[in-house]
Amino acid sequence: MTRIAIFASGGGSNAEAIINHFKDVDSITVSLIVTNKSDAGIIKRANNHGIPFLVITKSELKNQDFLLTKLKGDKIDFIVLAGFLLLIPSYLVEAYPQKIVNIHPALLPAYGGKGMYGMNVHRAVKENEEEMSGMTIHYVNQAYDEGKHIFQASIKIDATDTAEEIAGKVLKLEHKYYSKVIDYLLKS
């Protein structure tokens, strides 16, 4: 059994799509949710699905003894970032080589880097009057949004779309593809 931990800081709609996808897959399971926000929507979703969750502080994330012991103790094989907004520390990247993936709500390398997350991305895309946006799934390395790309998909932006409407279109793509890409990676 391959055991996934999902790290999320927000509402957790991507996390939920992934949890639902792997409910129907015998060899892969989402076995832990990690969040840095004690009031994040993801906690309610974890509870609804009966999946254990761990709330960590910024310093616990940086604490190798604490977090690696927990992840290894839970036999976590693969880490999925789904709206997790803290930088992943080097020790974790080294402990899980090519086994941490992230989703970003834009066509990287455009609109990536520190401070470029969630609605900040979509507002910048709107301000620049882009005609396309999309999402990127990539491996995680020591820098924000710079790991090797795995998969991208795009959407067309209408001139009348608001930043919120762009966000909605991109989120739909994310829900459609993230779990499929993870499934593919874990089975190949």
C-beta of 116: minimal distance to ligand GAR in Å?
A: 6
Q: Please tell me the distance from the alpha carbon of residue 36 to that of residue 117, in angstroms, as a whole number.
A: 16
The residues near 67 (Cβ < 8 Å, ≥ 6 apart) are 56, 60, 61, 92
Closer of 66 and 165 to ligand GAR (Cβ): 165
C-beta of 109: minimal distance to ligand GAR in Å?
A: 13
Residues written for the chain: 188
Q: Tokens 């969040």 appear where?
A: 35
Whether residue 116 contacts residue 136, with contact meaning beta carbons closer than 8 Å, is answered with no
C-beta of 144: minimal distance to ligand GAR in Å?
A: 7
Applying CB under 6 A, the residues found at the interface with ligand GAR are 8, 10-15, 82-83, 103-105, 117-118, 121, 171, 174
Q: Please tell me the distance from the alpha carbon of residue 28 to that of residue 4, in angstroms, as a whole number.
A: 7
Catalytic residue among 21, 49, 104, 122: 104
Task: Report whether the peptide linkage leading into residue 97 is cis, meaning its omega lies within 30 degrees of zero.
Answer: no
Q: Which residue's beta carbon is nearest to the bound ligand GAR?
A: 83
Closer of 64 and 154 to ligand GAR (Cβ): 154
Closer of 66 and 130 to ligand GAR (Cβ): 130
Phi-psi region of 75 (alpha: psi -120 to 50; beta: other; left: phi over 0): left
Closer of 41 and 78 to ligand GAR (Cβ): 41
104 among known catalytic residues: yes
C-beta of 121: minimal distance to ligand GAR in Å?
A: 6
Active site residues: 104
